[in-house]
Chains A and B, each alone.
Chain A
Amino acid sequence: MTGRHHWVVRVTHWVNAIALTLMVGSGLRIFNAYPAFARRGEGFCCYPWEHKAIPDALTFGGWLGGARHWHFALMWVLVINGLVYLTFIYLHGEWRDLVPRRGDARDALAMIKFYLFVTKSHPRQGKHNAMQKATYFALPVLAIVQVLTGLAIWKPVQLGWITALFGGYVWARYWHFMTMVALIAISFVHIFMVFAVDPYSLQSMITGGYREDLSPEARNARPFYHLLPRWRDRAAHGD
């Protein structure tokens, strides 16, 4: 058992998971009060489902006013939690495992080839493989965009310069929505990969401990392939 995730990373991860879920739910409830992007009297080019509401079951907060209260309260949880995480990984050095480097594209290609059965053995790319790195790097970047677009539509007059940065209120609202879609999509891929490739990493995000002998590299695991450790490996490690 090796230590994999510092407790600060684990706590901020789960706080983020809950807060983000509730932000999506309350955000969708707010969206449903006007489930469209067009300025009144105009059309909107770039969203095929104008005026179609999101099913209530996917929303949180009950009604527009309630959802707004949740959204504007939880935004602080999300922002403070995010700042704690970013400050920590900066001071503690974890950022080195996440920033893109030359060679990442090649490494990502190697991972794809492996997943597609083109190559036989799992590439060894350190704590995270290149695709994971790209994901974990993209998340905070998207989060920053999400905070900025959020400010842009919360305060389109007092912080009008941010709103202008995103092309005005209508577009800022659109980018706030689309960034949410991207965050959801990435989160689902992330969750899918946890269960399909490395379910043992769940433990590392809870207790911090990680068994290298169960890593995808050790199991030579692709999505849903070699999910279970081979008995010989288990025997070798005295389980």
Chain B
Amino acid sequence: MDRRRFLNVGGFSLTAAFLAACNVDRSPRAQRLLDLAEHRNEGVERSLFQHASMNSAKDGAKIAGSAFPSYFISSTVPVWDERVRGPWALEVSGLVQNPRRFSLEDLRKLPFRSQRVDHFCVEGWNAVAVWQGARLSDIARAVGVTPDAHYVDFQSFDDDYHESWDMDSAMHPQTLVAYAMDGHMLGMAHGAPARVHSPVKLGYKNTKYLTKIVFLPKRNGGYWSDQGYEWYGGV
């Protein structure tokens, strides 16, 4: 019996025995306990969170390049069609003193930031890329975010995809509105013309095909968070 089979057979009997005894993974009481644990874990994660904790991809790690997976929820790659929708702009609004629309040129005028970091997917893989763009904190400063803004919603033109974040993570120095990747303008598969990218959140929190950034007093869920993945999704 090889190790794999040994592992399989054993794991099966134990798990099956337990599940047969009580169908524990479906019960509402279990769900309430899991919700409580998620809530408590968010508290722990927020208390661990530091702006000084930075990620940098391991020396010698390969840039994923074309092996960088790309996901979107539309049936085809979302493409911003200027003839239909007019020139793309990023609308920044909500709890801000000066709501503003940023063209790609406007974004490029903000201080340029380039970082070679990991991308951590909820599925467990990581991928290295160089992300280039503007810090979200610089955008927030430009519009004058008010102190009652505790959350940010990142919205897209990939159907109704969006994810909201806590302010702390959004203001992390490595949280970017990226318009370039690995030295090229962002490709269609990776969220062109601009997307959120930060190593401090799991991939699904990093909205691609960005259209709106809305500063909010309360959280606003998200596409995957509403389907049962952790809302916080912090790394």
Contact = CB atoms under 8 A, between A and B. Distances in A.
Interface string B15-49: 11011000001100000011001101100010011
B29 to A, nearest CB: 13
Given A18-B18, A58-B15, A60-B25, A41 B10 contact: no
A156 B120 contact: yes
Contact of B50 (A34, A65, A158): A158
B124 A30 contact: yes
B126 interface: yes
A155 B48 contact: yes
A34 B4 contact: no
A39 B235 contact: no
A40 B126 contact: yes
Interface string A3-34: 00000000000000010011011001011011
Residue among B12, B14, B48, B65 having the largest count of chain A Cβ atoms under 10 Å:
B14
A73 B37 contact: yes
A157 B199 contact: yes
B41 to A, nearest CB: 5
Interface in B111-136: 118, 120-128
Contacts of A69: 34, 37-38, 228, 230
Interface in A22-61: 22, 24-25, 28, 30-31, 33-34, 36, 38-42, 49, 54-55, 57-61
Contacts of A22: 15, 18
B78 to A, nearest CB: 22
Interface residues of A, number: 50
B144 interface: no
Interface in A117-146: none
A57 B12 contact: yes
B54 A157 contact: yes
Contact of B124 (A31, A62, A73): A31
Contact of A39 (B41, B49, B62, B66): B62
Interface of B: 3-4, 6-8, 10-12, 14-16, 18-19, 25-26, 33-34, 37-38, 40-41, 45, 48-50, 53-55, 58, 61-69, 118, 120-128, 199-200, 227-230, 234-235
Q: Which 4 residue pairs across A and B have the least CB separation, nearest first?
A: A73-B37, A41-B67, A40-B127, A33-B123
18 contacts: A21-B11, A21-B14, A22-B15, A24-B15, A28-B11, A39-B61, A40-B127, A41-B66, A55-B8, A60-B15, A69-B228, A69-B230, A73-B33, A157-B200, A158-B53, A159-B48, A181-B3, A181-B7
